[in-house]
Amino acid sequence: DPQISGLLPLHIAVLLRSNELVQHLLAPGHGGQPRADPSGLSDKKLPVIHQAILLPFPEAVFALIAAGADVSAPNPDTGDNVVHVAAATGNIALLQAVVQKAAASGDTAIKGIAAENKARLTPLDIALVAFYGQCWQLVGHNAADPLQTEVPPHAPADGQYGLVLA
C-alpha cells in the first residue's frame, strides 16, 4: 500500500490505532530497550508521536511518552514540536501529558515549550490563535513572557496564567 510506504512499524501501528501492537512494539526487547524507537521518524522525518497526537490516539501518545519519545522532535516541514502539535489540537489531556514530559526533561522543557516553529510561532501562540482557552492556560503557565504588560483577551479573569503541573 503506497500510503504506508516509508513508515516504520510503530507508525503503522499508530495509523491502525492498534493499542496492542503499539504496546508490543514499545515493550522492552533484548537489552531492556523498546523493540521500536519511541522517537522514530517516517521517511518524511515525521515523529511518530506527532502522528499519534494528530489522529488523535491518546493511548499511543501516553505509551510513547512513557517509553521516552522525544517531545522536542520537530516536524521538518513546519518546525512544530510535540507541544506545538498538541496545543493546536485543543486536546487538554494530550497537551498536559506532553507539557509534563517536557517539564520533566530539564533543559528540553524550555526548548519544547518556548520553541518557535518555522512560522516563528511558539506553542503559546498556537494555543492563542486556536482560541483554546484551557490550552492557552496550560502552555501559558510554562512559557509566558514575564515582561508582558498586555493581558491577552482570553486570559483568565483571576489573572492566573496557567495550571500548576505536579
Q: What is the pLDDT of residue 12?
A: 94
The answer to whether the CB of 116 falls within 8 A of the CB of 122 is: yes
> In this structure, what C-alpha cell is assigned to residue 53?
497526537
Q: What is the pLDDT of residue 83?
A: 86
Report, as ranges of residue numbers, the positions in the chain whose pLDDT lies below 70.
1-5, 102, 105-112, 130-166
Q: What is the pLDDT of residue 5?
A: 67
Q: What is the pLDDT of residue 141?
A: 59
pTM of the model: 0.70
Q: What is the pLDDT of residue 48?
A: 94
Find the angle CA(147)-CA(90)-CA(128) to the nearest 5 degrees. 30
Residues near 149 by Cβ (< 8 Å), separated by ≥ 6? none
Residues near 158 by Cβ (< 8 Å), separated by ≥ 6? none
Terminal Cα distance for the chain, rounded: 44
Q: What is the pLDDT of residue 91?
A: 81
Kindly report, residue by residue over 93-123, the tens digit of the pLDDT.
888 887 777 677 654 545 567 788 999 988 8
- What CA–CA distance (Å, rounded) separates 62 from 94? 8
Q: Is 155 left (phi over 0), alpha (psi -120 to 50) or beta?
A: beta
> In this structure, what C-alpha cell is assigned to residue 24?
508490543
In the chain, domain spans: 1-70, 99-166
